Each structure stands twice: as structure tokens, then as C-alpha cells.
A and B are shown apart, each in its own frame.
Chain A
Amino acid sequence: MMRKRMAGILLAAVLAANLLRSDAVSTAPVAPAGRSAAPVYRSPNHVCLSADGLKAYVVNSTSNSVSILDIRDRKVVGEIPVGERPVHAAVSREGRFLYVSCTWAGDVEVIDLAEGRVVRKILAGDEPYGVTVSRDGRRLFVANAVSDTVSVIESESGKTLSEIPVGHFPRDIAETADGSRLLVSNGLSRGMSVLDPATGKEVERRDLGRASITRQVAVTRDGHWAFVAGILSHDETPSLQMERGWIHSNGFSVADLTRPGHRVTLLLDRLLSGAANPWGLLLSADEKHLYVSLSGVHEVAIVDVAECLKLVAETTPDQVKPLEQDVEVLEKRNIAKRFDAGGLGPRGMALSEATGELLVANYFSDSVSVLDAATGALRATIPLGPPQEMSLWRKGELLFNDARITYQTWFTCTSCHQEDASVDGLNWDLPNDGIGNPKSAKSLHDAYDTAPAMWSGIRANMDAAIAAGQRFQGFLPDPANHRALVEYLGNPERAPNPFLRRGAEARQRGEQVFVSAGCDVCHPAPKYTDLKLHDLGFGTPDDYRSRFDTPSLREVYRSGPWLHDGRALTLRSIFSDHNPQDLHGHTKGLTEQELDDLVAFLRGL
């Protein structure tokens, strides 16, 4: 903790010093606690524009800073330190403030762009991710990924006006032009939340079919059409063949907001090359083009919106499914084209109408690339700092996010484990333990010290699982890749647990319940697993085994849905609904208070 803070102060000092020199591009990297020898990467996750469209603000998620670019000069003109793990930002209407969501710091930090520093920190929910400024500029909408809520905040005072429950792991928010609706992409629920900000209610959960890990969302000015980028996950099918996108395909969904329930999903893949992991998504001001960054294949797709909407309009309900299985639909019809992004790991984007250029934040290249918005041609690449060699860990992180290690680039490890090696909330029927027994994707944060791996314990340890994972992706394990992946997954990065910020007493009482219910027998600290398989009656007729590997409870607050087949949608229901024979700890007869305390304790692990 102390070291982290020291590192933060040092970084701030370095950045401030650099700002004073006029030619400054921040240079000296500072090591974060944990991985001491590693250089600090910037890992730009998002980029947005100044009101005049001539400056870009780049959100550097791992250097805890925002870089300021002069778009025409193609260079960095400043860098402002912000709180831990910033991921997204939005500029205020008049262009004076930049609101930066800092997931790990747990706040939205307000940069006064004239002063070049953070002037206020606004508390939102847990792990604020997407931040959007209302059209009238008076409110901020913040997607709280861990709270599963959207906060409506008065921008002037920073006061929370309401906190609206949405789906699981909300990521991004778009407001309709008339301000009557908010559209929220839910990273771990298969639906887009439609909110009425006036009443503070979710008015519809628009089903998105097999969409998974949805990211950015945009809406046309007339409030008619919404677009949301995402993966299409075929978890309904045994994961046997990836050709033609039968494990994952990739694209975006279009929803007609005037027709409840309407949705058409279109894929940006090609027959022989998937468009892994759509991330950023934005509409041009004239609404002629839709841009989608494909983070796993390092490309950007440009979609002809008129043609796209024509196809959507003529799609009858019975054609929705066959259409979303056509991996080359947009290419065949010449509706979308894919271009090299000009860097690795393209994520957030911004479109400068002033220069006619698309700016792309390239997470792994520590750069912003500048593409011709009309032709997709690469015009420039702006490095955010001096070139740095990738550490082994960083190489592992890249591979984990990189579809080039998958046959025909259909998907990446993150297609099931998100960019942080956690979960996608889906049950997958992997063939490694027999077909017909789907199981919930496990977080990989605990794989390194809790062998065996997988629910059925089918892999002896993480090393074997990583080797098997590479084969699963269609290639023989490559020794160099293997080493990097082992280094990456062997040193998992854990977000600070937001639940530790409150409720210490409940957690303490909960620990008593934990022990008296016998939970600690199989989940002993510090790993919270006895590394053994147990038979607690969880097996279903589909399962080939009666026993399952005891999962670690570290970070259990963010690894839901829970139990081997994800049957428990809340931590509480593990005990209230899914322990009928009182075998999974003796939790029968726990009072409501005791259950609350137990859950509080678990969330703090």
C-alpha cells in the first residue's frame, strides 16, 4: 500500500516536472509495487477529444495518467496524473473539464483542463467504468462495474442523484439526444439496459441473444437506433470447432429503440479470419459511418451505416438467428471494411470532425494511431512515451488478449476471461472433461497456486492448463508464448477489493458464521481452498463426475455467477437456495442477519 502510494507520488512528481519543460514527453517510467523491475506502460484504454476537436485526451490505464495530444502536430503536449487504473473519460460540454473514471481508485476524477490537474474527486459506485456527460451538461452518468448500477450525478456538485440497478458489470453508457433514455452495455449480462434517467428505473432489458462481453454503445441522434459492440459466444454448443465462429464470432448488435425487444446482430468476421473482440464503437457526426475497434485482431472496422440499417430493416424476426451465424455477411455485402489499427490492442476511439481523422488508443503499443476516417488509411502513430521493451509479463498479457495465437483469429483468451483474466459469466461445454456437461468459466487469478485446474480438476496445474489452452486455440504450445503466459497468469493482478472499504463489523461477524458453518474446512485461509475435490450433491444428471474442485474464494465478489454450473446468481443464493441438503457447509437455519454477515465476509475475501 505504502509502496504504491510512494510510486504514485513519484509518478506525479515526474509528470509535473515534465509538464514544465515545453518539449516534454514524459519519459521516466516508475515501477508499480508488485512487479518491481517492470517498466511502467501507459496502456491507453480510451481517447476523447477537446471541444474544438484539435486536442485528444488519452486515458492511460496503467500509468494512472491522462496524456494530452495535439492532433495536428501529432505529439504529446502534456500528461496529467490521475487516480489508480483510469479507463474511460468524457469532456464536459463547454470543454473545460475532463471526467476520468478511475476503477481502482473508485472515483471519477475531474480534471480542470485549463489548470492541468485534478480539481475534484467524485465518489460513484464500485469500480466506475464508463462515464458519459448528459447532453445538457448538467449530469454525469457513470457505469459502476462491480456495483451493477449506473449513478446519475450532478456534475456541478458531484452529488449522486440516483443509482439505478442495471445488468451485471455495466461498461458503457449512451444517452439519447432528447435525454429520455440511457443505453447501458452490460459486460456480463446478455442484455442492454434501457434506463429512464428521470424516474431512475430500468425500463427494458433489451435481449442481445448470444452477445457477451459487450462494450461500447452508441445511439443515432433521432433516438431510433442503438449500436453495441460485443462478442457472440456460442456457449450453447460444445466448444469443438472454431471455424465459422462456432465458438466465438464478433460484431455488433443493432436495436430499434422504437420496437421493444427488437435486435439484429451483425458479424464483422470473415470466412477465414475472425474479428476478435470488438471494443470501441462510435458513430460519425453525420451518422454515415460506424467505427468498431477489433481489439484482438488489431484492426478497426468501418461500417456503412445506411446499408447496415437497410439490412437490419429488411431482417424479419425469423432471419435474426441465421443472420447472426453468417460470419461474412458484412464483408460479402460490402457493408463493412476492416483496416489495420496502426497499433496493438486498439480499444477506445475518437473521431475528430475537425481533421477528418479517427484516433485509436492502442493499449499494447502505448500509442494513439491516426487513421483517415473516410479511407481507413494510417496517417500517423503518436507514441505516448519513448519506446519500451515488453517485459515477459507484458508479453503474456498481450498474448492473452491477442487473437493471433488462435486459429483463424476467432477469439482470444479474453473472449471467455475478459481482459483481466477473470470470468465471462457463461457456462462452457469444453471437451476436456467430456461433452454435455457445461461449466462456468473460472477466473484464472487463482490458477497459479490452487492446482488442480478446471472444475473437474482435469488439468494437473496451471502449466498444464496453459498448454492445453494453446491447443484449444488451435496451435501447438509455443515455448516462448508458453513462458510469457505462465509469467502473466502466475502473477495475477488483482483489483483492490472495494468491499474492504466498508462494513468491517459485518465481515467480522460473518467470519464467525463462516467457521461455525464449517466453510473453513474446505475453504481454509489463506487460499480459501483445500485444493481437493468434494462431492456435495452439486452434480447434475449431465455431469460425469460427482466431485468438483474446491474453488478459491479470493475475489469471490467478482467471480459470479457461482457454483460449477453458475446456478447461483447471487452469493446469498448459494446458501439460501442451492444448499437443500445442508451439505455445502451447515447453513440451514442461518438467520437473515447471519446470511448477510456471511455474504459480507465472503465479499471481503
Chain B
Amino acid sequence: MNRVIPSRRAFWVLTALFILVCVTGAAWANRFLRQPALTPAIRGEAVARKLGCFACHGAEGQGGIADPGARGGKVPGWGGPTVSSYAKNEQEIREWILDGAPRRLKEAGAAHPPFIPMPAYRGRLDDRELSDLVAYFTAVSGGFGDVPEAAYEGRAIAARLGCFGCHGPSGAGGGPNPGSFKGHIPAWDGEEFLELVRDDAELREWILDGHAKRLWDNPAARHFLEGQVVQMPAYRPHLKEDEVGKLVAYIRWLRKK
């Protein structure tokens, strides 16, 4: 059998290819390693942490500590269904935060004042902190207003499948992820989303296969996709076709808001 010795020409071709890969790889790395701008909701989480909201309302506002004086026996969480009997609209959320209760309830006179009162934070946070905090609260609760049916059901599916555990409440952006493009699990909105997801077809690929084919086929991008500590799961076996549609509708609705 003849041993094939690479020719000079072949050597140069390979070298050129190698350089090309390095350059594109660097370009990819550069694009993705930029520090992403924090979303208001992510900033709001820091505000909540600083102000001690989670001490009473539970980690990430998922349901609070015992309140033996309250009828329900605990400090309410910030989940949408819970909030729906506490606040009519976003304005009332602001009133809860600033005054410890909305005006509507103060006027009616509480029949059951809680044993652990909700503090009034007026004067303890500035306007930007307040609006970030409300953005975070809105992300946790799913928000007010008229969510279209498909989007709402998409949100329910996302909650059921645990998407928010990685991607943050309402996909507002997740925790650190060493070895990934961004160093954290990306949000479903903003610039970083646009880079990773070009259109609905790619969004479906992410959800069903755990990656977009365009990136998977790119060696440098693939390096990150395979190397990151937390991997995006491929949900294909766990989703029916109409459920994928609803997830896509939800993410699209979030981005339009």
C-alpha cells in the first residue's frame, strides 16, 4: 500500500483552512463573550435580594415563610394565580411595594391583618430600582394584561417543563453557565437571543434538538455548545406538536411586549 505524502500545495491549503477556522472562531468568541446587558428583570432580582423580599416571600418569590396570623398560614408567593387575588393591575403592585398594601384594601379595612406585615418600602428605593423590581415581579408572576390564549398556554408548558429554572422567570435570563457562549444561560429576549435564534424555525430547533442547526454545523460554535456545563435539553420526546407551537407563541409574545 502506498503511503500518501501531502504535497506542498495541500499543506498550504490546510494551513489556510486552519487560519480561517481560527479567525471565524475568534469572531464568534468575540461576539459571544461580550458582557451582555442585564435585563431590567435581572436587575430587579438584585433589588429584591437587597431589599430582603425573599426573606418573607421565599426564594425567587416562589412562596413564603409561615405567617401564623394570616388566613392562608403563610406569606403569599408571587406566582400569577396567587397574585390574581391580591392585585388588580401593575399599579397595585407598586402600591403593595411602596405602601405595604394597595389603596383599595386600605380603604376597605383588612378583616384579617397579617401577623407578619408587608413592609412599606417608600423612600427605601429609587424610581429605577422600583421599575426594575416591578419588571422582576412581573416576570415571576407572568404579568398582567391580556395574554393571548396560545401564549398563556405556552407559558404554562414552559413552567411545567422547567424552562424557567434555567432561563430565569419568564425567560428573563438565567444563572451562570461556565464554558458557554455568554457565560450564563441566555434570556429569551434582547440582543443575545437575536444572535442565537434567527427565526421561528431556529427557535423550534433549539427547543426540539437543544441547539440550532446553523450553530451546530459551525465547528467553533459547536465547541461551545458541547463544552458548556449546563446543556440545553432536547425536548423532542416530551413535546407534542401543538405544544411546540404554543411555546413559540409564548416566546414570540414575550418579545413583542
Contacts and interface: CB of A to CB of B under 8 A. Distances in A.
**Which A-B residue pairs are the 8 nearest by beta carbons?**
A518-B85, A589-B71, A516-B111, A583-B81, A515-B108, A588-B72, A582-B72, A546-B156
B104 to A, nearest CB: 8
Given A535-B156, A586-B72, A589-B73, A517 B85 contact: yes
A19 to B, nearest CB: 55
Given A521-B86, A586-B72, A516 B112 contact: yes
Interface in B155-210: 156
A476 interface: no
A53 to B, nearest CB: 62
Contact of B82 (A513, A545, A546, A583): A583
A588 B149 contact: no
B84 interface: yes
A457 B149 CA distance: 10
Given A535-B81, A586-B71, A545 B88 contact: no
Interface string B54-83: 000000000000000011110010001110
B153 interface: yes
**By CB atoms of chain B within 10 A, which of A512, A537, A582 has the most?**
A582
Contact of B84 (A513, A522, A587, A589): A522
B152 interface: yes
B72 A516 contact: no
Given A516-B110, A590-B71, A583 B153 contact: no
B86 A545 contact: no
B146 interface: yes
A585 interface: yes
Contact of B111 (A512, A532, A583): A512
B46 interface: no
Contacts, number: 67
A584 interface: yes
B87 interface: yes
Contacts of B70: 589
Interface of A: 457, 512-513, 515-519, 521-522, 524, 530, 532-537, 545-547, 581-590
12 contacts: A512-B111, A513-B111, A516-B111, A521-B84, A524-B88, A534-B81, A535-B152, A535-B156, A546-B156, A547-B149, A588-B71, A589-B70
B251 to A, nearest CB: 17
How big is the B interface, by class?
Answer: 20 to 34
A479 to B, nearest CB: 30
A181 to B, nearest CB: 47
Interface in B84-100: 84-88
A585 B85 contact: yes
Contacts of A513: 111
Nearest to B88: A521
A515 B101 CA distance: 13
Contacts of B153: 545-546
Interface string B113-146: 0000000000000000000000000000000001
A521 B93 CA distance: 13
Contacts of B84: 521-522, 534, 536, 583
B152 A546 contact: yes
B109 to A, nearest CB: 8
A588 B81 CA distance: 15
Contact of A547 (B88, B108, B152): B152
Contacts of B111: 512-513, 515-516
A582 B88 CA distance: 17
B85 A521 contact: yes
A205 B198 CA distance: 65
A509 to B, nearest CB: 9
A585 B88 CA distance: 13
B149 A545 contact: yes
Contacts of A584: 85
A512 B112 CA distance: 10
Contact of B85 (A524, A583, A589): A583
A524 B84 CA distance: 13
**By CB atoms of chain B within 10 A, which of A513, A518, A532 has the most?**
A518
Contacts of A590: 71
A521 B70 CA distance: 19
Given A534-B81, A535-B152, A581-B81, 16 more contacts: A457-B149, A512-B111, A515-B111, A522-B84, A522-B85, A524-B88, A534-B84, A535-B156, A536-B84, A546-B152, A546-B153, A583-B85, A586-B85, A588-B73, A589-B73, A590-B71
A530 B156 CA distance: 22
B156 A519 contact: no
Nearest to A585: B85
Contacts of B86: 518, 521
Nearest to A458: B149
A235 to B, nearest CB: 25
A583 B109 CA distance: 21
Contacts of A512: 108-109, 111
Contacts of A589: 70-73
A516 B86 CA distance: 9
B39 to A, nearest CB: 24
Given A516-B111, A589-B71, A536 B81 contact: yes
A597 to B, nearest CB: 10
Contacts of A546: 152-153, 156
Nearest to B113: A516
Contacts of A534: 81, 84
Nearest to A538: B81
Interface in B228-251: none
Contact of A537 (B71, B76, B81): B81
B249 to A, nearest CB: 13
B81 to A, nearest CB: 4
Contacts of A586: 71-72, 76, 85
B146 A532 contact: yes
